[in-house]
Structure 1
Amino acid sequence: MEENLPASISRTIQTKLVLPPDTNHLGTIFGGTILSYIDEIAAITAMKHSKEVVVTASIDTVNFLSSAKVGDILHLEGVVISTGRTSMEVYVKVECQNLKSRKKTVTTTAILTMVAVDLNGKPTPVNGVIPESEEEKALFQHAQARKERRLKINELSKECGL
């Protein structure tokens, strides 16, 4: 197992075009389509960090801040922001760019937990991460609080029989 890795090792960027089948009757992109894109980039990001296959353990937060319309360009960026023994938190930011004006707007942010698994589907250890940007450092500082919140939610779900 290697030492802690810089966050930039995992940084992943994708670009998508919003097409008519991706949109609802208002001409804005379906939230489910955005979630699919987010899950895909989070998986790729976590695989780049861990060099292992990963599964999605949770989608902790998704903030839909604004919408994207047909013809807009989506820029998705993912980066590993913290790690556990076998898990990685991935931050994903989605920006929408209007083709004509070139104006960019953040449409969605999300934090997902991905778990590295071996060929038998068993969790496998991952390297730690070294945050580099100010945004990564701020997200890294609050990782323990997010983990504690996830554990409380899991406990409550079990108590409620979910």
Structure 2
Amino acid sequence: MIFPEQANHYGTLFGGTALSLMGKAAFITASRAARHAVVMASSERITFHTPVMVGQLVDLVGRVDTVGKRSMTVHVSLVAETLASGERRLAAEGWFVLVAVDGHGRPVPVPAFQDIQHGTQQG
């Protein structure tokens, strides 16, 4: 649910807050897929399609798009829903690159690399 403290002066979801929510969804998706510690390396092609109004619900969906040896690209969709009508629309989407790391923050191979590549893991 989007509350006034998450909004800009137009009464719509602040872009920085949307990016924060999307980054968290990407992190959760990559963590679940790799079953390992991950950190964000970059965010790419973030597109805001339509504003999200105060009082609307947001639904974030992440999916692993591509997998490298040490990183994954996660696509995140932010869908806005008007609770009274049930109307849903894509409000924003973006791609996030996350890297598997060891306890010292150094990149390591994605532990579930083979499973993710063959579609046996879902984020």
Pairwise same-fold verdict (TM > 0.5):
yes
Given the alignment, which residue of 83, 100, 108 partners 1:116? 100
Gaps of at least 5 residues in structure 1 are 1-16, 133-162
1:115-154 equivalences under 5 Å are 115-126=99-110, 127=113, 128-130=116-118
Answer yes or no: is 1:89 the counterpart of 2:73: yes
Residue 81 of structure 1: how far off its partner (Å): 1.1
Shift of 1:53: 1.1
Q: For the residues of structure 1 that align with 2:95 and 2:12, how far apart are their CA atoms?
A: 23
User: Identity percentage over the alignment?
Assistant: 34
Could you say which residue in structure 1 is the equivalent of 2:63? 79
Q: Residue 131 and residue 110 in structure 1: after superposition, are their counterparts in 2 closer, same or farther (change >3 A)?
A: farther
Structure with the bigger RCO (C-alpha within 8 Å, sep 6+) is: 2
Contact 1:65 1:107 in 2 (8 A): yes
Query: Aligned equivalents of 1:131 and 1:91: distance in 2?
Result: 15
**Distance (whole Å) between structure 1 residues aligned to residue 119 and residue 55 of structure 2:** 34
Q: CA deviation at 1:131?
A: 5.4
Rg: which structure is higher? Answer: 1
Pairwise CA RMSD of aligned residues?
A: 1.3
Specify which structure has the higher proportion of helix. Answer: 1
Where in structure 2 are there 5+ consecutive unaligned residues? Answer: none
User: Which amino acid letter does the alignment assign opposite residue 78 of structure 2?
Assistant: V
- TM score, norm. by length of structure 2: 0.90
